Amino acid sequence: MIKKTFTPAPMVFALGAFLTLSACSDQPADQAGEPDPTLETDTAMAETAPQDLIARAQGLEAPTPEQRPQEITQHGETRVDEFAWLRDDDWQTVMRDPSVLQADIRTHLEAENAYYNAVMAPLEALEDRIYSEMRGRIKEDDASPPERDGPWFYYTRFREGGQYPVFARRPADENGEMSGEEQIILDGDAEADGIEYFDLGSVEHSPDHRYMAWAVDTAGSEFYEIRIRDLQTGEDVATLTDEGYGSLEWANDSRTLYWVWRDANNRPKRVYRQAMDADEAELIYEEADDGFFLGVGKTDGDTWIVLSASDHTTTEMRVFDANDPAAEPILVSERESGVEYSLTEAGGQIFVRTNQDGAVDFKIMTAPLDDPRRENWSDLIDHRPGVLVNGLVGYQDWLVRMERANALPRIIVRNLADGEEHEIAFEEEAYALGLDGGMEYAVDMMRFSYESPSTPEETFDYDMASRERTLIKRQEIPSGHDASDYVVRRLMAPARDGEMIPVTLLYREGTALDGSAPLMLYGYGSYGITIPAGFSVSRFSLVDRGMIYAIAHIRGGMSKGYQWYLDGKLNSKTNTFNDFVDSGRFLVEQGFTTEGNIVAMGGSAGGLLVGAAMNQAPELFAGVIAAVPFVDVTNTMSDPSLPLTPPEWPEWGNPIEDAEAYRYIMSYSPYDNVTAQDYPHLLATAGLTDPRVTYWEPAKWAARVRTRRTDDGLTLMRTNMGAGHGGASGRFDALKERAEEWAFALMTVGLADAEAAQASVESAEAGENSAGN
């Protein structure tokens, strides 16, 4: 419902969607106790001695994956894929209906899940404890600050124990204050009742506040059903499609909706326009290039509907008059390879953020509001190397931009009347910012958020005219949190080629910095996505147990500007993996930890990262957690039928047509580089209906690691049989999966043995007391 929310990241269609959950923004936070840092042994504990959980797990029989070798010849070279059979030939149908999965594949995945459960069984009580801690940091009945849009204030809230958001509104009185009774316009808990997976793609009220369009996925396949609800009756009055992309936008007549359709290969290929009372939708655009994805939006002043076609490095936009439900498109600028642009309406103009003319870190241009075509663009703010323009938000009198310089974000406010600019300043060593433009255009007030690894999110209303900021919400941590108990540091790690890699550290005050502390090293490093130094309710369950948490801001992201991204893609991709390994070695050299005492974690394209790092430097890591990992790079990038393969070629290269790209990908693809060597303990996860990283990638990889490793380390594979790329959909179910991953991490560095035994005893005693009562 908040159409102008700005997230400082590029448009990413592929693997980056996992980040919201895995990287830095766990769900907001409620109660439970913190772990006892002393882990004192009580009388009950004495009755159950800690066991070596790794040794116990090594005594269990792991599944023996069946090998069915298949030869693949490409560019005159032949490789053998012994686990190719794990890909269901009818995978498109499986995405929509998991029950049709091939029987032998299901048997294999279920055997892996059974083995995973057997290995993790002694950790269940510890997992429950960690889950309770994380849930204890969540205010269960949390609510977003209300946003005014004309006669209504809109907000989302959670109910105590609820898994999904409730979308609601209350009237604005004559003084502009929120008043009157709440109207629930969409109850996520009620809609999700009885459904295993539930994800809302978009929830948008119409400009006249009468209707609401919403998109929902109930399989994890990312095919969204698009529905329209009458907010006067609370009833859905139309279902436009069950093959939506989740991207939708109202025309200003409040009766016409623009929406995006997915094809059978899960690609957003068409844009439709449909009046609510029309029997059929009007096809207004179809994309011929499988490498381009589509989206729809609206400029901040509601003048134009914007239809964007983009891959990772190229943009083409068309605009439609938002006041004319039958408007013809205007092509803003024809696609030109490597040229990106976006449009923002402010002060009766269009502001264009673009990298044309070699503006690597982007510059800002202007165009007339009534004719924003490229021939009318003129320079406003020149390109400044090293200062990345992340994005813009527009108002009637103001233009706000988010920038990144020296690996830190900043907010710049520009007065459109005189061109004067000022910066909103922050002082911590490492932090994250969010920018929310709100729903109203002709205002002086904008909203932003601030957080750091130790500081819970704070939301401010900022008066751009008076420059006064008002704290309107501070994230509550019901179980208690004192930021002064923790240390946040920003270090610069030298890479092997001389570059300096920003590394953010979080640890508890008093943690020994003599090398004895285990460390979790997180990274991503693809698509230009910058992992912010934000607050996470889950990380404290590691750092309170003595672990150090580190984020390596490696090449492939944009922490140090757009060039930082360019230096970590295509034929420079190995810089990403080298940076991650070099960051780990630097932290060892600086005495924060020791070799073999690091747990590497990454999800999606970050799974590729940790998979490649594990092949390169297995001795550095005690364990590796690879969540829905993109690890079968050569095979996936060589299969144009897969949903994301053509759009991904600008990121990785096209190994079908380019022999050099094929050989380069083969040099680092984690699946293709598993060798006969010792490996750290591995946990890989998958979602059966995941269209981004298909389930067979981690399944094949785990099978190959287990059969080729030369030690007796653990290779675990966990498949969520009812979810997609983001894992479990409910906010608490997602925490349960994270608690399992944390328990695995603690086990690999020896921090779980005693506490798991203690937690098991306490759980058993609690069960006996409950039965006795």
d(CA 702, CA 409): 38
In contact, 715 and 113? CB cutoff 8 Å: no
β 70-74/330-333 pair status: unpaired
d(CA 477, CA 142): 11
Token pair belonging to 713: 């380390």
Whether 690 is catalytic is: yes
- The catalytic position among 681, 725, 753, 760 is 725
Cβ atoms of 578 and 495 closer than 8 Å: yes
Give CA separation, 598 vs 119, 224, 304, 533, 702, in Å.
21, 40, 50, 20, 20
CA separation for the pair 85, 699 (Å, rounded): 11
Nearest Cα to 387, choosing from 370, 369, 409, 368?
409
Q: Look up 567 and say whether it is catalytic.
A: no
* Ordered strands of the 330-333 beta sheet: 293-298, 304-310, 315-321, 330-333
Cα 723 to Cα 731: distance, rounded to the nearest angstrom: 13
Chain centroid, CA 503 distance in Å: 19
* Residue 187 appears among annotated catalytic residues: no
Q: How many CB atoms lie within 10 A of CB 144?
A: 18
Q: What secondary structure letter does DSSP report for 375? A: G
Strand ranges (E), 322-420: 330-333, 341-346, 349-354, 363-368, 378-381, 388-394, 398-405, 408-415
AA identity, residue 168: A
Query: Nearest 5 degrees, angle CA 473-CA 503-CA 22?
Result: 55
Q: Residue 454 class from Cβ within 10 Å (0-12 exposed, 13-18 middle, 19+ buried)?
A: buried
- Find the catalytic residue in 690, 729, 753, 760: 690
> How do the residues of the chain divide into helix, strand and coil, expressed in percent and rounded to 5?
25, 30, 40
Identity of the residue numbered 313: T
Distance, in Å, from the CA atom of 540 to the CA atom of 455, rounded to the nearest integer, reads 12
Tell me the C-alpha distance between 274 and 409, whole Å.
40
Are the C-beta atoms of residues 569 and 517 closer than 8 Å to each other? no
Query: 398 Cβ partners below 8 Å, 6+ apart?
Result: 346, 347, 413, 414, 415, 416, 444, 446, 464
Strand positions, DSSP E, 112-234: 147-149, 152-157, 166-171, 183-187, 199-205, 211-217, 224-230
Active-site pick, 333, 454, 479, 604 = 604
- Cα–Cα distances (Å) from 94 to 105, 138, 242, 659, 688, in that order, read 12, 35, 16, 32, 8
Residues in the chain: 773
How far apart CA 348 and CA 394 sit, in angstroms, is: 10
CB 678, CB 624: distance < 8 Å? no
Residue 706 exposure: Cα atoms within 13 Å on the Cβ side: 24
Amino acid present at 214? W
Would you put residue 627 in left (φ > 0), alpha (ψ -120 to 50) or beta? beta
Q: What is d(CA 687, CA 199) in angstroms, rounded to the nearest whole number?
A: 14
The radius of gyration of the chain from alpha carbons, rounded to an integer in Å, stands at 26
Which class for 174: exposed (0-12), middle (13-18), buried (19 or more C-beta within 10 A)? exposed
By annotation, the residues acting in catalysis are: 604, 690, 725
